[in-house]
Each structure stands twice: as C-alpha cells, then as structure tokens.
Amino acid sequence: MRRAQFPGTAGVLRWDMEFLGQILSKFGTMILGPPARGSVSDEGSGWDRALGPLLILSFCALGLGLFLPVLRVDKFFVFTEQFSIMDSIMTLFMEGEIFIALVVLLFSIAFPLVKLAQAFSLWRRTDIHSGHFDRRLKWLGFLSKWSMVDVFVVALVVFSVKASAIANATTEPGLYFFFAASIGTAAAIGLIKAAAERLRNGEETVN
C-alpha cells in the first residue's frame, strides 16, 4: 500500500509565495497599470513580488513620519507641545530661518521622495536590459550613498531639542515611521539591484 505524499515545508512555502505573488501582481496591475515589459516587476517571481508592497509600505511610512508628531516637548513640566516634521519646517519658515527650513525640507521630504520615485521607476517602469536602467541604477546608487542623511538631519533636530535645559523632550511614533521609511527604501533599492543582476544572468528566484 502506497503512503500518501504530503508536500514538505519548502514546497508549501513555495506554493504560498507563488500564490501570493499572483495576487500581488493582479492587485498591482489594477492599481498601477501593467508593468513595463522587461522590468523587474514583469520578469521577477517569488520574493521579487515583495518589492511592490515594500515600496508602498515605505511610502506610507514616510507620509506618517512627516505628518505624525516626532517629538513631544514638556516645558517647565506644565506646557506640552507636539511637533511633526512638517510643523517644524513651517515654523522655521515663519520665524525667518529660511536656510535651515530649506535644508530640512530638502533632506526630510524632497530627498526621500526622489529615492522612492526612482526605486519605483526602476522596479516597474524600466527594462532591466536597457541602458536607461543602468543610468537610473547608477543615479540611484549615488543617492543611496547619502541614504541616511535624511535620518541624520531629523535625528539632529531631535537631539538639539532633547539637549535643551529648559525642556524635557520625548520621541513620538512619527520619528520611528520616518526611520522605517528610510530603511525600507534602502532595502528595496538593494533588492531591485540584486533582482536585476540575477534576472540578467537568467537565474531563477529562490523561493
């Protein structure tokens, strides 16, 4: 009598990833339109399908990080104020600190958005076999060298307030969302580069 064969853990995981990948692919097509022919989104499989959700989650985390409070300041143990990154930028502009406001605006909003936009374009809109992909990847590599500058700028602002003798400062959830967005974007860029190199060499994704 032949024993019934059951798929092992690896087989179940592979089937689950393929099934999840198909769902994510269809959902992404409904929301974003069809991927460009030859892109990582078009040719990738298995864990490559996680790139889309990772970029979307990073974008959402960035939005929360910009608008949610990053710091709560208690002055003289009586008055309490909460600050988001957007609040801080607007306050700096209103107080005439134009240069500092522009620096924070550049590195906390413009810089992360450009990285996310470039990563999204490489993942879904650019053929990995084209020279255009190589140029964009090189540009994104340059941006990645400065990938933690945005985090450093925000952390410096938080540290300067916490170091004040007249106020007691406590970090808030917005700060952690902002850090998560930076880490998620950096991870997505690394995964896109690795996936493109593997697909160019004709290797299959390991599930």
DSSP string computed for the chain: -PPPP---HHHHHHHHHHHHHHHHHHHHHHHH-PPPTTSHHHH--GGGGGHHHHHHHHHHHHHHHHHSEEEEEEETTTEEEEEEHHHHHHHHHHTT-HHHHHHHHIIIIIHHHHHHHHHHIIIIIS-TTSHHHHHHHHHHHHHHTTTTHHHHHHHHHHHHHHT-TTEEEEE-HHHHHHHHHHHHHHHHHHHHHHHHHHHHTTPPPP-
pLDDT for the residue numbered 88: 82
| Within-domain flag for 183 | yes
Q: Which domain range does residue 145 map to?
A: 37-200
Of 84, 108, 56, 60, which is closest to residue 173 (Cα–Cα)? Answer: 84
Gap between the Cα atoms of 148 and 183, Å rounded: 9
C-alpha triplet 177, 136, 33: angle, nearest 5°? 70
CATH (domain of 78): 1.20.140
* CB 191 within 8 Å of CB 183: no
Q: pLDDT (tens digit, 9 = 90+) per residue, 27-60?
A: 555 556 677 788 888 787 777 778 888 899 999 9
pLDDT for the residue numbered 159: 63
| Within-domain flag for 2 | no
pLDDT for the residue numbered 64: 94
| Within-domain flag for 24 | no
| Within-domain flag for 6 | no
Total tally of structural domains belonging to the chain? 1
Gap between the Cα atoms of 145 and 161, Å rounded: 27
Percent of the chain clearing pLDDT 90 (strictly above): 8
| Within-domain flag for 19 | no
| Within-domain flag for 206 | no
Residues in the chain predicted with pLDDT less than 70, given as ranges, are 1-33, 75-79, 144-153, 155-167, 203-207
At a CB cut-off of 8 Å and minimum separation 6, what does 8 contact? none
| Within-domain flag for 100 | yes
Gap between the Cα atoms of 151 and 147, Å rounded: 8
pLDDT for the residue numbered 5: 46
Task: Report which residue type is found at 61.
Answer: A
| Within-domain flag for 15 | no
At 34, give phi and psi (nearest 5°): -65, 145
